[in-house]
Amino acid sequence: MTTSPLSALPLHSRAHDEAEAHDGEDQVQRAADLAALHRAADAGQAAAAWVRELAGRQSEEEHSRLLGRVAGAITQASSREIIPGSEGLLTEELRYTLAADVVLGASHTTGTLPELHPGERMPLIAVCALAAAFPSCVLGDLNRELEVLAAELEAATTASRAATAEMPAG
């Protein structure tokens, strides 16, 4: 009599079912987190592109350089600084670069304010504040919080572009 190959298969257990279910939930969560991370990065890139447009129209080189650094900081804070398992803090340099006084530009050296159209200052502050908040999402519900902040950053960028578009070229 031959031995059935079925006897060599591992026995199916309830613990095995639970482990597979848990692995499936972990994969779904990782996929949701990854999607939220991508949305945050995309929102940050769009906001940074707008800030680069602001930088490009400055007649004072100091204002242009500062806004260029702000654009880079927005990109970094909305992507590379969101590190699951970290303490969710920005470096001092990024915090300083994304501070609300960005609307003052390099006025301490130039004696002038950056050339911003009416309605652009508040969205610029909002974009910087939202970008600065992204890394702290790792301390809570990453994908839910990133989705909320990304949506708000997208709205602030849309508002900023609308304010820019309302002004005549020239």
Predicted local confidence at residue 26, as pLDDT: 84
Predicted local confidence at residue 5, as pLDDT: 53
Q: Do 98 and 132 contact (CB within 8 A), yes or no?
A: yes
Q: Do 90 and 98 contact (CB within 8 A), yes or no?
A: yes
Q: Is 1 exposed, middle or buried (0-12, 13-18, 19+ CB in 10 A)?
A: exposed
In a domain, 16, yes or no: no
In a domain, 12, yes or no: no
- pLDDT block averages, 10 residues each, the chain of length 170: 54 60 77 93 97 96 96 96 90 94 89 91 94 94 94 94 73
In a domain, 55, yes or no: yes
Q: Per the structure, how many domains does the chain have?
A: 1
The CA-based angle 8-9-14, given to 5 degrees, is 140
Type of residue numbered 103: V
In a domain, 6, yes or no: no
pLDDT tens-place string over residues 124-170: 999 999 999 999 999 999 999 999 999 999 999 998 888 888 776 54
Q: Do 130 and 155 contact (CB within 8 A), yes or no?
A: no
In a domain, 73, yes or no: yes
Predicted local confidence at residue 170, as pLDDT: 47
Q: What range defines the domain where residue 98 resides?
A: 39-166
In a domain, 78, yes or no: yes
In a domain, 10, yes or no: no
In a domain, 29, yes or no: no
Report pTM.
0.82
